[in-house]
A and B are shown apart, each in its own frame.
Chain A
């Protein structure tokens, strides 16, 4: 029992005195991460205050109880009293906790109201949860029009213990969300398939992503840095493998980043009416497959029997291509197959072509981006 009590005292002491200085990757981190926004700081302080109040009550109640345990025992010859109620005492210990709670609720209420104030942001970013990655669309403000997907960057080999795990194991992505410091960022959160939750502890933001509904939250980051978080709502098999990385940079660097993204996306614009060859589509399709499909359908196209359908030799992938395109674009209700409409025309065309002509599949037909483009109309 003393061990637990000592841990509590330790936890609180560390919370107050040394928590602030701890690095994010401290293996013995006992407290919330160092707060980077005003809301996260308020949360941190309220949590610390609560722990002190709890500690005081804990010592009070168990001080009395353990005094009694030591002194009022039969083995030391203590004779039992026979009192069994006292209205005064009972009223007192009903009223006092009530006022303590009011004291706790007051600052919390102010923070809740502040958390909800997503008005007049400098930048608005929409994030969409997918099984199992995040998509980001910069909607308004500087960077408007930027759009990308953010996948786990940790190699499979590290997860399967085939190679040593590196520092940011499971907390690293290919495309982080870049935001400028000192600007109010409103984040609009939704999902494509099932529930997810967008959570970055240092920013004090956690919001469920709900398919068909949008929610929002906001943050203003004080200083540059890389802040890592994870999906916080069970979303299936790879729930533990869809991290969130927010990179906060100086406004000038942000402008630079926006320019880079714009030129990249300008270079990536492809004329959808262009005719692609089978090999071009298959090469691109393999990449799209690796980024979007492999988690369920597996690299060998065999899926996971009973859970995720095989594509190698499947009716869909060897049958008419219209049905194949439909299932990729619109998903299949009642199964784990989500809609992949958010991919580009080229990507959808490429991945369908790839699936129809990879492994043992030899449909031999080619799906052109123009066909996909036509279907979207």
Chain B
């Protein structure tokens, strides 16, 4: 019996075949693979929604979708990209890489690992099928502020349920990662000898455990307001709509860092490898990551500067937010210093990492602009903010995901990917990304609000440019799919140490990595 075989330790390469392998697997690599494919599928789904939005915004006037459906699209695009694409992709990386990088055979809780993955498809199904129920999908924005979200149909309840499931999955994943890292490191690997990717995920996992229950709480309050007559967020019943925003953003702001800290980790692995030089300022990188995580928990209300709060409140949240620039700056300086006087080569992972730093810094600058309360009053809820968070989420998180995928594909598949196509993927992404989002800064400053299906004539030209860029960016990602499939099916044989400068433990394993990573722990001196 398959299940019995699984209980025997050290059964190399013995597992059920076909669908049952994936349904019953407790192997960190299989689960990692499923996370990554799931997230890519969601990335395409959310991407199609984004392109529909951009198609509607190609010209002023209503052409393709009606305003109700437009609002459903913006809402679902946000939710699917955040909870379906970016977060699961990082968990996929964690599953594949953390055991290999700390010299462990697998994750600590192998069965729970299976469960945390298999919770995702039903949640995704709930989100997607909600388009077909009466009233359509939730249309209150991915932040679903009440009272608007109280007005919605059953699509909103389906979204709430999906968020509950996704949250449970994230919490289990995070506990698994924390336990694995704290208990299963190879002998001699002290915390301060761990690879940066492992460090950033350890901190991210703590953030997840801290804030996902808060999200679960706030959506539950919304659920009872909607269905059971409570008045948490209804002023007429003694509640407060702004309280929702406080609780939501207490989750929401750390969430932003949940989506960026693992990227910092990936980039901190890639740059030293291709610079052939150790990471500059390892310990300050660790402290900077921790500082960002701690600060991220006390700045939530900067998303609410126009909701109205006392002067002291605005000042506190403004100063706190600005402070985040300090540890973030330290990271950028450290990466630059790592590259300085290295012996660099520019394979695709390195290109995506440099692209990441370059564009993430632009997103960081617009972040500081948004942190300044008076300026934020002008740009809050405009396309400037859209541009800002796509610079940190797309050219930030997503570019780092691409960097990581190219970096570790040889280890995962045993083949080198097509370097020429990889470079094309990078340069096309770079060009179209900027075409799409740079002009949105101008739109926001000139006064175009976000989440509108139609706009004044003065915004027409930049919107058209942005839409063209979006279609270019979207199509470019199909190239990535082709490159990955090609790499899985064949290509030059990857050596154990696929990259000359690779120093971490996974490069001591053969490529492709064996089904169970380390049977005997390597000893770190």
Contact present for A80 and B276 (CB under 8 Å): yes
- A231 near B: Cβ within 8 Å? yes
Residues of A within 8 A of B62 (CB): 159-161
Residues of A within 8 A of B329 (CB): 93-94, 97
The size of the chain A interface, using a CB distance under 8 A, is: 108
Contact present for B455 and A80 (CB under 8 Å): no
Residues of B within 8 A of A97 (CB): 325-326, 329
- A232 near B: Cβ within 8 Å? yes
From A3, A80, A171, A304, B343 is in contact (CB under 8 Å) with A80
Interface size class of B (residues with CB under 8 A): 35 or more
Residues of A within 8 A of B235 (CB): 210-213
Contact present for B343 and A78 (CB under 8 Å): yes
- B125 near A: Cβ within 8 Å? no
Residues of A within 8 A of B30 (CB): none
- A277 near B: Cβ within 8 Å? no
From B63, B226, B365, A161 is in contact (CB under 8 Å) with B63
CB distance from A112 to the nearest CB of B (A): 5
Contact present for A201 and B447 (CB under 8 Å): yes
- B481 near A: Cβ within 8 Å? no
CB-nearest residue of chain A to B459: A27
Alpha-carbon distance A233/B303, docked complex (angstroms)? 12
Interface of B is mostly: helix
Contact present for B453 and A4 (CB under 8 Å): no
- A18 near B: Cβ within 8 Å? no
Alpha-carbon distance A32/B447, docked complex (angstroms)? 7
Residues of A within 8 A of B322 (CB): 101, 104-105
Q: Which of A18-53 contact B (CB under 8 A)?
A: 24-33, 39, 42-43, 46-47, 50-51
Contact present for A11 and B374 (CB under 8 Å): no
Alpha-carbon distance A238/B451, docked complex (angstroms)? 10
B146, B449, B450, B460 — which one has the most chain A CB atoms within 10 A of its CB? B449
Alpha-carbon distance A47/B311, docked complex (angstroms)? 20
Residues of A within 8 A of B460 (CB): 27
Could you say which of B185-193, B203-211, B278-286, B484-492 contacts chain A? Answer: B278-286
Alpha-carbon distance A335/B134, docked complex (angstroms)? 13
CB-nearest residue of chain B to A14: B442
Residues of A within 8 A of B522 (CB): none
Known contacts A82-B278, A169-B456: does B147 contact A211 (CB below 8 Å)? yes
- B319 near A: Cβ within 8 Å? yes
From A30, A42, A158, B442 is in contact (CB under 8 Å) with A30
Residues of B within 8 A of A159 (CB): 61-62, 454
Contact present for A85 and B281 (CB under 8 Å): yes
CB-nearest residue of chain A to B334: A90
Residues of B within 8 A of A4 (CB): 358-359, 362, 434, 438
CB-nearest residue of chain B to A339: B236
Could you say which of B13-21, B169-177, B377-385, B400-408 contacts chain A? Answer: B377-385
B136, B236, B446 — which one has the most chain A CB atoms within 10 A of its CB? B446
- B430 near A: Cβ within 8 Å? yes
Alpha-carbon distance A250/B243, docked complex (angstroms)? 42
Alpha-carbon distance A168/B394, docked complex (angstroms)? 34
Alpha-carbon distance A17/B108, docked complex (angstroms)? 61
- A363 near B: Cβ within 8 Å? no
Residues of A within 8 A of B431 (CB): 3
Alpha-carbon distance A213/B242, docked complex (angstroms)? 9
Contact present for A89 and B337 (CB under 8 Å): yes
Alpha-carbon distance A104/B346, docked complex (angstroms)? 37
Against A, the Cβ 8 Å flags (1 = close, 0 = not) of B274-297 are 011111111110000000000000
CB-nearest residue of chain B to A198: B306
From B147, B345, B357, B438, A195 is in contact (CB under 8 Å) with B147
Residues of A within 8 A of B447 (CB): 33, 201, 229-230
Residues of A within 8 A of B306 (CB): 197, 206-208, 232-233
Contact present for A104 and B151 (CB under 8 Å): no
Contact present for A43 and B377 (CB under 8 Å): yes
CB distance from B128 to the nearest CB of A (A): 17
CB-nearest residue of chain B to A57: B365
Residues of B within 8 A of A89 (CB): 337
From A26, A208, A306, B136 is in contact (CB under 8 Å) with A306
CB-nearest residue of chain A to B272: A84
Residues of A within 8 A of B242 (CB): 210, 213
CB distance from B408 to the nearest CB of A (A): 21
Alpha-carbon distance A30/B456, docked complex (angstroms)? 15
From A46, A85, A170, A335, B284 is in contact (CB under 8 Å) with A85
Could you say which of A61-69, A255-263, A279-287, A350-358 contacts chain B? Answer: A61-69
Q: Which of A78-114 contact B (CB under 8 A)?
A: 78-86, 89-90, 93-94, 97-98, 101, 104-105, 108-109, 111-113
Q: Which of A191-218 contact B (CB under 8 A)?
A: 193-195, 197, 199, 201, 204-208, 210-213, 215
Residues of B within 8 A of A64 (CB): 336, 340
From B61, B141, B276, A234 is in contact (CB under 8 Å) with B141
- B323 near A: Cβ within 8 Å? yes
- A116 near B: Cβ within 8 Å? yes
Contact present for A237 and B339 (CB under 8 Å): no
Contact present for A74 and B344 (CB under 8 Å): yes
Against A, the Cβ 8 Å flags (1 = close, 0 = not) of B65-90 are 00110010000000000000000000
- B253 near A: Cβ within 8 Å? no
From A3, A81, A193, B434 is in contact (CB under 8 Å) with A3
Alpha-carbon distance A171/B284, docked complex (angstroms)? 51
CB-nearest residue of chain B to A156: B62
Residues of B within 8 A of A24 (CB): 458
CB-nearest residue of chain B to A25: B458
Alpha-carbon distance A170/B447, docked complex (angstroms)? 13
- A236 near B: Cβ within 8 Å? yes
Contact present for B61 and A32 (CB under 8 Å): no
- A359 near B: Cβ within 8 Å? no
- A273 near B: Cβ within 8 Å? no
- B240 near A: Cβ within 8 Å? yes
- B261 near A: Cβ within 8 Å? no
From B280, B323, B461, A28 is in contact (CB under 8 Å) with B461
- B373 near A: Cβ within 8 Å? yes
Against B, the Cβ 8 Å flags (1 = close, 0 = not) of A129-167 are 000000000000000000000000000001111000101
CB-nearest residue of chain B to A307: B135
From A207, A215, A234, B71 is in contact (CB under 8 Å) with A234
Residues of A within 8 A of B234 (CB): 212, 333
CB distance from B133 to the nearest CB of A (A): 8
Give 4 A-B pairs besides A84-B279, A195-B145, A197-B306 with Cβ atoms closer than 8 angstroms. Answer: A210-B241, A230-B452, A239-B67, A240-B67
22 contacts between A and B (CB under 8 A): A4-B358, A28-B442, A31-B442, A32-B378, A50-B369, A68-B336, A80-B277, A84-B278, A84-B280, A90-B334, A97-B325, A105-B319, A105-B322, A109-B318, A111-B374, A112-B314, A165-B61, A170-B60, A233-B306, A241-B454, A307-B136, A336-B151
Give 9 nearest A-B pairs by CB, closest first.
A212-B235, A240-B452, A306-B134, A80-B343, A215-B308, A81-B341, A84-B278, A29-B446, A54-B365
